[in-house]
């Protein structure tokens, strides 16, 4: 099926022996399923050389660079670096880093929940000192590195990356990679996609300086003028092969476009110009208002192929999504049914568990009433007729969808969109990573579809594909800034229009700043509510504010503080532990029974509990099982052990344990001191180097893995920390109550989660705040006391706590959604 | 031959719990005289009560994204209380009770869906919190509960026999068949599986994703409610810890039955057999005289072990 056509083209010069080559690849190939992402690649990069690497999307540039960085292991081929052969099996991201290979990823790999300085640490841990002030070095490193490359950027290094603009993030990303003193090879993958002209010029200046110092640079970009400006030599890739290379001085943008594979698209001569308006075809889509800055509304008619062009992320996808949503009067109006074909096949196209036939059939089934009978066989005739038109092999209908090549998967998605007679077909960059043969089939199919009277709206990131269109709408900063038709469609014009600045470009920026109040409010909630609740209680009963009153009130809060902190570290990894409450109960039982009668056995049991927690972490990470279900199962194991050890409440606290929690400093209530100690411990762990990495895993596990950090080791560390906090909670309960009750622990699970949420943490994304969690936990346990003093039955406690949790989470969701809309 | 058997087992994952049941039964019969066909019938009745919430849990889990319904135990208990409180003893009164239970649980299911879909609270947290609120409601009505005038029809449904077969088992088999047909043979089943595999792909294919997910929470709540109603009839009343076992066991039945915990595929027959296996394990331990604690431990271990062996990866990637 995947008869990828052999392209006769200028072959790259055979790998010549290059004694001064820093990086040398020979015969490198990598296949994913039936997609050949890289094949027979020979490439040398010399010390101090700047190589421009160009190619269409999916040409294999990123795969090749992943191989060089040790992220992807090639199927065949050899690699040498610095004159020494590299063992590609043992080659890892960390080994690449140690060798001096650094990459700036196209999809930015910063952790949004870390500050700029902390992001520098995650990338360059070797400078960390053993000191509470270790991060100061990284503030300096970050500031210096950013200013060295981008003078005047002035990015505050203590700010969270999530609060930076896209351009600022890109600058941080570049500076972070380039700050490595061991740097020998710097790979920049689309480094200027979000940068303005001035910053881009600064970066190129920096690249030239580095090259002068002997650093080799690979510069990957779609901005061909920049590539020609910066490179010594330009290399073009197409369909996983290196097809062309030349010194930058001897070539032009036109050459590059041709080398990248432009010639395949745009077979315009065979296509008669179509004047849909004159043909009197019905209007299917009408665009107007602020969206259109070309003057007057734009009407799209049946039978047209309309391209959506512009720099990536300028509003093309947004328009497709608005067209796909329910039609309503406004800027974007449509008349007729729509179908959507995405080029992100893995993310929003295929259903991986299903066969090809099922993947096609769902297009019709999606619109049937719920109880309509559906049989697989019913789909076959219709799918078969579609398959014929799409040049899709009918004999593979029963194969799993993932067994097909990218191009064939895309055909399946198109077939799905064509199963019924929808009037409008939306294409979202459908040929991404598709081989040439499949692309040609695809272009033919689009023409046929339009000829059959449908309106095709086609967003592409490959400008050459617009030559297939009747009309092209060019986007810039979310607006349509140009409309090209017929012979006026050319790559030059599209590119020129893409860089136009619509007048209203600034408003988005201003709105973003206004939205920043949300996160601040979230962080302040726990402290404000703590003050509020405490004030209310002292107003009702002045004794509360006395040292004795505080001692009495805070004693029950200590447990919840410890449990909430334990849960917080798990939430920091975007997971949740449903077993923490029961585990606390188990530790309570062990310490009130075994630890009294036979201390040795007691300690062994506690250690076994810790080992159990670590085992859970291993299972979750090694087998990719959801933490909820595993910890739910574990909660029953903990409770079961506790039940077996001591079926009904009882036991007593070992004397040393009581002593451990009942010392006192004159003037400070003991529970307050304990809470402060717990808060300090959690804060220090969270802000330590290891805690920073733990948080980073919560938001960007893939980037961390690429950076050479072990997910398993940190997963185990995360659960071990949580376990130790929960253990402290269990021991405290024993000391405070001088007894144990296995059933008392369970309810703490929900309370702990509630405290974490009230404390300003987000359940996903690794945003955690130790001090907020402590305040949240204290507030929650005070609310219990407050309700009691108001005469509310304790029966209501659970409901109040559950409702509070829901309200705060809802508030959080609303604020985050607002922030996202503005950002 | 072995290859074909293996391929069959891969596409029909309910075969594993079935084998487990046979194996456990064989062992029990061999080593103990006390385990008889009669014990098996007791297991089947217990498993039938578990089946309804387990089917609901299965639907929720199948929507993927780590969705799970932790409010099931509180829902079962609250429904049992509602049944006891509203029953008058007459058949017409029973129909009213049924309507009240179904309406109340449907409402709670919709609230769950609202929290998950509109407020975007993770399902596990939303349903856990909802469970606590329901538990409080139960606690409050617990003080006012009076005599249970059990309607005859409810008695027949929960404890009666038809042609020697316990009515509950008949209900369970019918429910399994209906759920199986729904999943395998209707547009709803296809849509549900699509949503569970990739919500984004499903949305772009034109499936009303939110409506599908909401329907599973409502179904889960109503099935739990039904189970609570029947359980009240079986036990002749309601008590506070009534639904507690269904928290872990509903998840356990789904996992043991071979439904994908990551979503996108489910088997009703597997859930029936998985629940049966789980109940059988518990019964075995009771016969062996193990304390309740040990039963909890083993259930937890079995679920984690099955998950670890089966894994959750979708496809080959």
CATH number at residue B41: 1.10.3470
pLDDT digits (tens, 9 = 90+) for B60-71: 999 998 899 999
Residue A1 pLDDT > 60 = no
Question: For residue B109, what are the domain limits?
Answer: 15-308
Residue B9 lies in a domain: no
Q: How distant is the Cα of A636 from the closest Cα of chain B, in angstroms?
A: 5
Q: Where residue A297 falls among pLDDT bands split at 50, 70, 90?
A: confident
Residue A507 pLDDT > 60 = no
Q: Where residue A731 falls among pLDDT bands split at 50, 70, 90?
A: very high
Proportion of chain A above pLDDT 90, given as a percent: 33
Residue A403 pLDDT > 90 = no
Q: Which residue has the higher pLDDT, A393 or A591?
A: A591
Question: Which chain B residues are Cβ-neighbours of A644 within 8 angstroms?
Answer: 291, 293-294, 297
Give residue B37's pLDDT.
66
Question: Which chain A residues are Cβ-neighbours of B262 within 8 angstroms?
Answer: 626
Question: Which chain B residues are Cβ-neighbours of A581 within 8 angstroms?
Answer: none
Residue A522 lies in a domain: no
Locus of tokens 């294919």 = B205
Residue A546 pLDDT > 60 = yes
Residue A103 pLDDT > 70 = yes
Question: Which chain B residues are Cβ-neighbours of A763 within 8 angstroms?
Answer: 122, 125
Give residue A391's pLDDT.
76
Cβ-defined contact of A351 to B194 (cutoff 8 Å): yes
Cβ-defined contact of B193 to A339 (cutoff 8 Å): no
Instruction: Note whether A20 and A133 are same-domain residues.
Output: no
Give residue A269's pLDDT.
42
The model carries a pTM of 0.84
- The average pLDDT across A85-110 equals 85
- The average pLDDT across A154-161 equals 91
Question: For residue A572, what are the domain limits?
Answer: 543-822
Per the structure, the count of domains in chain B is 1
Task: Pick A750's closest partner by Cβ from B128, B202, B293.
Answer: B128
Instruction: Note whether A770 and A791 are same-domain residues.
Output: yes
Residue A748 pLDDT > 60 = yes
| Dihedral in degrees, nearest 10, Cα atoms B7, B9, B13, B14 | 150
Give residue A734's pLDDT.
94
| Cβ neighbours around A481 below 10 Å, total | 22
Residue B317 lies in a domain: no
Residue A591 lies in a domain: yes
Cβ-defined contact of A633 to B135 (cutoff 8 Å): no
Q: Which residue has the higher pLDDT, A194 or A25?
A: A25
Of A199-203, A624-628, A640-644, B223-227, the range with the lowest mean pLDDT is A624-628
Residue A357 is part of a domain; what is its CATH number?
3.40.50.300
Return the residue of A nearest to B198 by Cα.
A351
Of A116-120, A618-622, A699-703, A810-814, the range with the lowest mean pLDDT is A810-814
| Cβ neighbours around A373 below 10 Å, total | 10
Q: How distant is the Cα of A493 from the closest Cα of chain B, in angstroms?
A: 32
Give residue A579's pLDDT.
93
Instruction: Note whether A429 and A560 are same-domain residues.
Output: no
pLDDT digits (tens, 9 = 90+) for A450-466: 888 899 999 987 777 88
Residue B7 lies in a domain: no
Q: Where residue A783 falls among pLDDT bands split at 50, 70, 90?
A: confident
- Give per-residue burial for B290-315: e unless 16+ CB within 10 Å, then b: eeebbbbbbbbebbbebbbebebebe
Instruction: Note whether A390 and A494 are same-domain residues.
Output: yes
Cα dihedral across residues A67, A70, A76, A81: positive or negative: positive
Give residue A504's pLDDT.
45
State the Cα–Cα distance between residues B102 and B192, nearest whole angstrom. Answer: 22
Which of A427, A798, A800, A819 should one mutate to test binding to chain B, selecting the residue with the greatest count of B CBs within 10 A?
Answer: A798
**In the listed set A264, A286, A309, which residue is the last one of a domain according to the structure?**
A264
- The average pLDDT across A627-634 equals 90
Instruction: Scan residues 130-169 of B and list those with Cβ closer than 8 Å to A.
Output: 130-133, 135-137, 139-140
Cβ-defined contact of A628 to B124 (cutoff 8 Å): yes
Question: Which chain A residues are Cβ-neighbours of B74 within 8 angstroms?
Answer: none
Give residue B119's pLDDT.
87
Residue A687 is part of a domain; what is its CATH number?
1.10.3470
Which tokens hold the place of A131? 């000191």
pLDDT digits (tens, 9 = 90+) for A641-681: 999 998 888 889 998 899 888 887 887 889 999 999 999 99
Which of B7, B67, B144, B187 should one mutate to test binding to chain A, selecting the residue with the greatest count of A CBs within 10 A?
Answer: B187
Give residue A36's pLDDT.
73
Cβ-defined contact of B207 to A362 (cutoff 8 Å): yes
Q: How distant is the Cα of A359 from the closest Cα of chain B, in angstroms?
A: 9
State the Cα–Cα distance between residues B251 and A631, nearest whole angstrom. Answer: 12
State the Cα–Cα distance between residues A568 and A554, nearest whole angstrom. Answer: 20
**In the listed set A501, A522, A554, which residue is the last one of a domain according to the structure?**
A501
Residues of chain B short of pLDDT 50, as ranges, are 313-317
Residue B314 lies in a domain: no
Return the residue of A nearest to B262 by Cα.
A626
- The average pLDDT across A561-589 equals 95
Give residue B163's pLDDT.
87
Residue A93 pLDDT > 80 = yes
Element (H, E) at A774: helix A770-789
Residue B300 lies in a domain: yes
Say if residues B65 and B199 touch (Cβ distance below 8 Å). yes
Give residue B312's pLDDT.
52
Question: Which chain B residues are Cβ-neighbours of A363 within 8 angstroms?
Answer: 205-206
Which of B59, B73, B132 should one mutate to test binding to chain A, selecting the residue with the greatest count of A CBs within 10 A?
Answer: B132
- The average pLDDT across A159-178 equals 88
β-bridge partners, A245: A235
Question: Which chain A residues are Cβ-neighbours of B113 within 8 angstroms?
Answer: none
Q: What is the DSSP letter of A212?
A: H
Give residue A499's pLDDT.
65
| Dihedral in degrees, nearest 10, Cα atoms A738, A743, A744, A750 | 150
Cα–Cα distances in angstroms (integers) from residue A493 to residues A463, A487, A667, A809, in the given order: 10, 11, 77, 49
Task: Report the mean per-residue pLDDT for chain A.
Answer: 84
Which residues lie below 8 Å from residue A115, measured CB to CB, with a gap of 6+? A157, A158, A159, A160, A161
Given CB atoms, is B66 within the 8 Å cutoff of chain A?
Answer: yes
Say if residues B246 and B224 touch (Cβ distance below 8 Å). yes
Residue A506 lies in a domain: no
Q: How big is the CA angle at A754 (ends A687 and A790), to the nearest 5 degrees? A: 125
Residue A514 lies in a domain: no
Cβ-defined contact of B291 to A647 (cutoff 8 Å): yes
Give residue B2's pLDDT.
67
Q: Which residue has the higher pLDDT, A279 or A593?
A: A593
Question: Which chain B residues are Cβ-neighbours of A354 within 8 angstroms?
Answer: 193, 197
């Amino acid at each position: 099926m995947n008869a990828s056509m052999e392209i006769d083209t200028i072959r790259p010069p055979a790998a010549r022996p290059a004694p001064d080559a820093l990086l040398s690849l020979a015969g490198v190939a990598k296949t994913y399923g039936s997609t050949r992402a890289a094949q027979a690649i020979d490439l040398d990069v010399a010390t101090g050389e700047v190589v421009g690497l160009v190619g269409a999307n999916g040409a294999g540039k990123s795969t090749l660079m992943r191989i060089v960085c040790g992220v992807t292991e090639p199927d065949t081929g050899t690699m040498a670096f610095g004159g020494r052969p590299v063992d590609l099996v043992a080659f890892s991201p960390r080994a690449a880093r140690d060798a001096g290979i650094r990459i700036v990823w196209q999809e930015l790999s910063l952790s949004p929940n870390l500050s700029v300085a902390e992001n520098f640490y995650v990338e360059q841990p070797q400078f960390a000192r053993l000191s509470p002030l270790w991060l100061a070095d990284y503030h300096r490193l970050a500031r210096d590195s950013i200013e060295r490359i981008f003078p005047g950027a002035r990015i505050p290094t203590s700010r969270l990356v999530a609060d930076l603009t896209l351009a600022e993030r890109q600058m941080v990303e570049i500076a972070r990679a380039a700050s490595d003193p061991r740097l020998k090879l710097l790979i920049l993958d689309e480094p200027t996609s979000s940068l303005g002209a001035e910053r881009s010029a600064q970066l190129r200046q920096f690249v030239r300086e580095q090259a002068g110092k002997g650093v080799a640079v690979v510069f990957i970009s779609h901005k061909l003028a920049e590539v020609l400006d910066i490179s010594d030599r330009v290399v073009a890739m197409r369909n996983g092969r290196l097809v062309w290379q030349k010194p930058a001085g001897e070539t032009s943008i036109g050459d590059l476009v041709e080398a990248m594979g432009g010639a395949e698209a745009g077979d315009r001569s065979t296509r008669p110009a179509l004047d849909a308006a004159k043909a009197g075809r019905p209007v299917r889509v009408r665009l107007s208002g602020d969206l259109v800055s070309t003057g007057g509304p734009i009407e799209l008619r049946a039978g047209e192929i309309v391209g959506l062009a512009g720099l990536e992320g300028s509003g093309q996808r947004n328009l497709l999504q608005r067209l796909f949503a329910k039609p309503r009067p406004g800027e974007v109006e449509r008349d007729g049914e729509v179908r959507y074909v995405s080029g992100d096949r893995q993310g929003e196209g295929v259903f991986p568990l299903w066969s090809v036939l099922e993947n096609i059939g769902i297009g019709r089934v999606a619109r049937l009433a719920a109880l309509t009978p559906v049989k697989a066989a019913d789909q076959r005739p219709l799918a078969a007729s579609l398959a014929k038109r799409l040049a899709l092999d009918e004999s593979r209908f029963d194969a799993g969808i993932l067994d097909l090549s990218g191009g064939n998967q895309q055909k399946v998605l198109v077939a799905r969109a064509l199963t019924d007679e929808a009037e409008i077909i939306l294409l979202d960059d459908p040929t991404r990573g598709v081989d040439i043969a499949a692309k040609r089939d695809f272009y033919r199919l689009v023409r046929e579809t339009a000829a059959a009277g449908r309106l095709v709206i086609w967003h592409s990131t490959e400008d050459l594909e617009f030559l297939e269109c009747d009309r092209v709408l060019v986007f810039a900063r979310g607006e349509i800034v140009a409309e090209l038709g017929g012979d006026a469609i050319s790559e030059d014009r599209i590119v020129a229009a893409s860089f136009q600045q619509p007048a209203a470009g600034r408003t988005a920026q201003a709105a973003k700043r206004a939205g920043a109040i949300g996160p601040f409010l979230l962080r302040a909630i726990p402290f404000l509510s703590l003050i509020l609740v405490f004030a209310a209680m002292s107003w009702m009963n002045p004794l509360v504010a006395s040292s004795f009153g505080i001692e009495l009130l805070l004693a029950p809060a200590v447990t919840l503080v410890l449990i909430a902190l334990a849960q917080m570290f798990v939430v920091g990894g975007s997971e949740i532990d449903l077993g923490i409450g029961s585990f606390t109960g188990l530790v309570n039982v062990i310490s009130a029974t075994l630890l009294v009668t036979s201390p040795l056995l007691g300690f062994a049991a506690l250690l076994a509990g810790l080992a159990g927690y670590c085992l859970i972490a291993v299972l979750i990470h090694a087998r990719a099982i959801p933490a909820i279900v595993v910890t739910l199962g574990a909660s029953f194991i903990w409770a079961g052990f506790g039940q077996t050890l001591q079926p009904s409440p009882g036991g007593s606290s070992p004397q040393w344990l009581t002593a451990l929690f009942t010392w006192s400093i004159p003037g400070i209530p003991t529970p307050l001191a304990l809470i402060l100690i717990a808060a300090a411990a959690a804060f220090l762990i969270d802000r330590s180097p290891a805690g920073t990495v733990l948080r980073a895993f919560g938001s960007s596990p893939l980037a961390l893995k690429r950076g050479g950090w072990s997910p398993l080791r940190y997963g185990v560390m995360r659960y071990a920390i949580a376990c130790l906090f929960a253990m402290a909670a269990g021991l405290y309960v024993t000391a405070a109550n001088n007894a144990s009750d296995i059933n008392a622990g369970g309810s703490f699970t929900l309370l702990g989660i509630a405290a974490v949420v009230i404390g300003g943490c987000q359940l996903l994304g690794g945003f955690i705040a130790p001090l907020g969690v402590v305040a949240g936990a204290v507030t929650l346990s005070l609310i219990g006391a407050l309700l009691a003093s108001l005469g509310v039955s304790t029966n209501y406690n659970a409901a109040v706590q559950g409702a509070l949790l829901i309200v705060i989470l809802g508030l959080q969701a609303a604020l985050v959604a607002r922030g996202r809309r503005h950002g | 031959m072995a290859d074909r058997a293996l391929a069959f087992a891969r596409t029909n994952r309910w075969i594993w719990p079935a084998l487990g049941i046979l194996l456990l039964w064989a062992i029990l019969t061999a080593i103990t005289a006390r385990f008889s066909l009669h014990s098996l019938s007791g297991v089947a009745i217990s498993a039938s009560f578990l089946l309804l919430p387990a089917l609901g849990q299965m639907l929720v889990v199948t929507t993927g994204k780590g969705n799970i319904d932790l409010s099931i135990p509180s829902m079962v208990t609250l429904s049992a209380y509602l049944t006891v409180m509203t029953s008058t003893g007459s058949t017409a009164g029973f129909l009213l009770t049924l309507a009240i239970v179904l309406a109340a649980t449907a409402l709670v299911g919709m609230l769950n869906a609202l929290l998950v879909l509109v407020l975007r609270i993770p399902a596990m947290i939303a349903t856990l919190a909802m469970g606590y609120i329901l538990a409080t409601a139960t606690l409050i009505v617990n003080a006012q509960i009076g005599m249970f005038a059990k309607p005859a029809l409810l008695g027949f449904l929960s404890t009666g026999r038809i042609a020697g077969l316990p009515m509950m088992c008949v209900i369970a088999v019918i429910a399994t068949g209906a759920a199986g047909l729904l999943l395998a043979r209707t547009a709803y089943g296809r849509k549900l599986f699509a949503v569970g595999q990739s919500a984004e792909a499903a949305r772009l294919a034109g499936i009303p994703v939110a409506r599908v997910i909401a329907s599973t929470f409502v179904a889960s709540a109503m099935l739990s409610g039904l189970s609570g109603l029947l359980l009240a009839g079986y036990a002749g009343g309601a008590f506070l810890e009534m639904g507690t076992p269904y928290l872990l066991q509903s998840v356990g039945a789904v996992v043991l039955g071979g439904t994908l915990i990551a979503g996108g595929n489910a088997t009703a027959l597997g859930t029936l057999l998985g629940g049966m296996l789980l109940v059988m394990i518990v019964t075995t331990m009771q016969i062996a005289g193990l304390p309740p604690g040990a039963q909890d431990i083993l259930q937890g271990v079995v679920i984690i072990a099955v998950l670890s062996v089966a894994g959750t990866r979708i496809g080959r990637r």
